[in-house]
Amino acid sequence: MSARNVRIEETKDYDQFISLLGNRKLDEQHVRRLVNKMSKEGNLTQVFPIVVNERMEVIDGQHRLEALRRLEWPVFYEVKKGLNIETVQALNTGTKNWTWFDYAFSFAERGNENYLKFLNLWDYFNLPYSIILLFCGKHDYSNSRHGGFSKGNFVLEDQTYTFALLKQYKEVAEAANHSGNKFAQALYTIFRLPEYDHKRMVTKMEKYGGDLKGYTNKQDYMRAIEDIYNTYVKEAEQVRLF
């Protein structure tokens, strides 16, 4: 018995432990650090036992478990009934915070198609999370640490339209050899204008995109992009982009 009157079990049957559906992926570097630490300091689970629920799903300690498996050392664990994936997320608050990817992977693995589509877009375009989120039309989620995204509230309303916008952004960014959140915010607004001509934008960026600087706000980017878009264009054919 521990001081909290909780029974601590011991086993080397690693296969009895079940990976909790929706938990984040193992961090290989973290596992290696734990292997090294325990090799020097001993079995950490004797002091900090792994926590599982009544189904033997690992709630707290999946990295310690994997380190012990590699060391072929016994696992010390305690069973607490009624714990689930929400418990895991709560336990990690204030320690090693879940990233946006951890949340997306968790919801996708549990069958949420919106998060699966988001991950597919992220994987296909290889762009930052904030830019993918922007082109999904979700500005509000960026105001706090993953906001509604971490709560499972993300909805991708039009995957085809979002894909088309991201493709345009990628082409303009590559033509200009320029990127960044404020740059993306400006282009997101410009792309949705009815008078926008994408072929013209790409052509102008290939020639004059080098003139862009690292502006600190969206308005300055829109002004600079408009200047490039209208460079050597007849006054009658010039277009206001903001």
The verdict on 29 and 114 lying in the same domain is no
Tens digit of pLDDT for each residue in 18-55? 988 888 788 898 899 899 989 988 998 887 888 898 89
Q: State the residue range of the domain holding 16.
A: 9-92
The verdict on 36 and 149 lying in the same domain is no
Q: What is the CATH number of the domain that holds 32?
A: 3.90.1530.10
The verdict on 156 and 129 lying in the same domain is yes
The verdict on 55 and 144 lying in the same domain is no
Residue 163 domain-assigned (yes or no) = yes
Residue 4 domain-assigned (yes or no) = no
The verdict on 85 and 130 lying in the same domain is no
How many domains are contained in the chain? 2
The verdict on 211 and 145 lying in the same domain is yes
- Mean pLDDT taken over the chain: 87
Residue 32 domain-assigned (yes or no) = yes
pLDDT band with cut points at 50, 70 and 90 for residue 61: confident
The verdict on 148 and 105 lying in the same domain is yes
Tens digit of pLDDT for each residue in 102-135? 888 888 888 899 999 999 999 999 999 999 999 9
The verdict on 126 and 229 lying in the same domain is yes
pLDDT band with cut points at 50, 70 and 90 for residue 97: low
98 versus 82: which is more confidently predicted? 82
Type of residue found at 226: E
